[in-house]
Amino acid sequence: MKTNSQSPERGGRKPSSLKVPQVDASGESPRIGRVSAARTVVRLLGVFAALHLLWALLAAVLKRDILPSPPAVYRALFRLDGAEMLTHVGTSLFRVFAGILLALAVGLLLGLVMGRSPRWNKLLDPVVYLTYPIPKIALLPVAMLFLGLGEASKIVMIALILIFQVIISVRDGVKAIPADTYDVLTSLGAGRGARFAQITLPGALSSILSTIRISLGTAFSVLFFTEIYGTEHGMGYFIMDAWLRIDYPGMYAGILLFGGVGFLLFVLVDLFEYRFMKWRA
């Protein structure tokens, strides 16, 4: 008895193959990622243009030297000495990075200990919450008395601003990790080091990046105040020096450069997060 079986290649047609779009670790295809990045750039350029338009309108309305027009400021910006500005920017970045690293070194350690140990959390939690509300900028004279007018007082002030935010964010991030997540690795024979590297550290890193992104603006604000004394280098010094010399275009040029450096640091944090923490998407 014959059975009619239909071949998948009947009529000379080859079976069509489904093309599965490639995705990265975050589940997003490269094409969608490029489109999203392009839209972000367009939005940023739109905001940048709108702010400059508002700036030009205000300058045209006021017609005062204290608010020069955007072309005048950009002319002053391009007239700046490159080597001198590189020294100012490099000095400011050194102070910011040193303060951030100091805050991360201490805050990460305390945050991990408080997040994993209820006993240490009960001991250190009152200390953190009693000292956190103190306005750290008010401690600037104290830092100057004990550490002098050099780099140490500036770096310590930046670290003091950030350290409490790092402690609280890391502690809360570690405590938010479900306990059964550790049980899975323990049942597979993972030791304490493996559990820390695979679970605790990624959870803490997520909190650290969020804290750094929020705190960068605060760190630059504190840096500006610390650079107006005991130094002849740094963006804060350059801006205040231009203000004292009534060089308003140069002052605004310094502010633009200062803001541009901060924006680039924000972008670097976002790129680091996208590269190493795609699972957050």
Mean pLDDT is lowest, of 33-37, 74-78, 140-144, for 33-37
What's the confidence (pLDDT) of residue 196? Answer: 75
pLDDT one-digit tens code per residue, 125-183? 999 888 888 888 888 888 888 988 888 989 998 898 888 888 888 888 888 777 777 76
pLDDT given at position 131: 87
Cβ-proximal residues to 258 (8 Å cutoff; 6+ apart), any chain: 92, 220, 224, 235, 239
Share of the chain above pLDDT 90, in %: 29
- Name the pTM for this structure: 0.75
Please tell me the CATH code under which domain 81-280 is placed. 1.10.3720.10
Flag whether pLDDT at 201 surpasses 80: no
Residue pointed to by tokens 């976002």 = 270
pLDDT at 36: 72
Encoded amino acid at 119, one letter: R
Where residue 279 falls among pLDDT bands split at 50, 70, 90? Answer: low
Between 57 and 31, where is the model more confident?
A: 57
Domain boundaries of the chain, sorted by first residue = 81-280
Cα(73)–Cα(259) distance, rounded to whole angstroms?
A: 14
Q: Which long-range contacts (CB under 8 A, 24 or more apart) does 266-275 make?
A: 266/213, 266/216, 269/209, 269/212, 269/213, 269/216, 270/213, 272/209, 273/209
